[in-house]
Amino acid sequence: MPTSLHTENELVQRVAAGNEAAYKELFTRYWDQIYSTALMFTKSPEMSEDMAQEVFARIWVKREKLKEVVRFDDYLFITARNLIFDQMRQKVFTYEHGVYLTEYFSDADLTPADNVELKEMEKIIQQGISILPPQQRTAFCLSRFQGLKHEEIAAQMGISKESVKSHIVRAIASLRKHLGDHAEPMTLFVWMLLML
């Protein structure tokens, strides 16, 4: 961390007032942390760099909100977390569930313990989905794993769009409860994705 004549709070307040030099200093202080966090989830240097840049762009665009921030590191983490989860949620729910998870966690750097945890996570998720009522399970899978819109699901299932939405909301609530009882790190991450 570079030396500075200003405390973090002073820098944050200067950024809130539109001071670009203070913004650049905060950027320098926290870039590695945000980039590393993104890389841990995406495993893609290019995607992680884009995400980190987007996080700091959002900080600058919404800089006036910094006047009310008490702990900048917490605020920055929440901003980064929301962006990363949003991006990962789109990837998780764009691809077929099993295929995506297999590809995502096929990194050679995974330890044997990581692989055990992955298998357990997949088992827990599949169990949660399997115990959903048929209509909820179908609507949820078509939405989250095949990326269909509510209108498309309604046409495929022969029900109204409102019914589709109701089935998905109830399915997510059930899965949250099921996954909440198994909150190991990887499982908790997927649970948080489901909550978005």
State pLDDT tens for residues 65-110.
Answer: 999 888 888 888 888 888 877 776 665 554 444 555 555 555 545 5
61: buried, middle or exposed (CB in 10 Å: 19+, 13-18, 0-12)?
Answer: exposed
Residue 66 carries which DSSP code?
G
CA–CA dist 111, 113 (Å, integer): 5
**What is the fold, at CATH topology level, of the domain defined by 8-92?**
Rna Polymerase Sigma Factor; Chain: A (1.10.1740)
Provide the whole-model pTM: 0.48
| 45 CB burial (10 A radius; 0-12, 13-18, 19+) | exposed
d(CA 134, CA 183): 25
Q: What is the pLDDT of residues 15-72, one digit of tens each?
A: 999 999 999 998 998 898 888 878 777 777 888 888 889 999 999 999 999 998 888 8
CATH code that applies to domain 97-195: 1.10.10.10
Q: Quick one: tokens of 85?
A: 């989860």
Q: Where are the domains positioned within the chain?
A: 8-92, 97-195
C-alpha to C-alpha distances, 84 to 55, 103, 127, 153, 166, nearest whole angstrom: 9, 18, 26, 27, 27
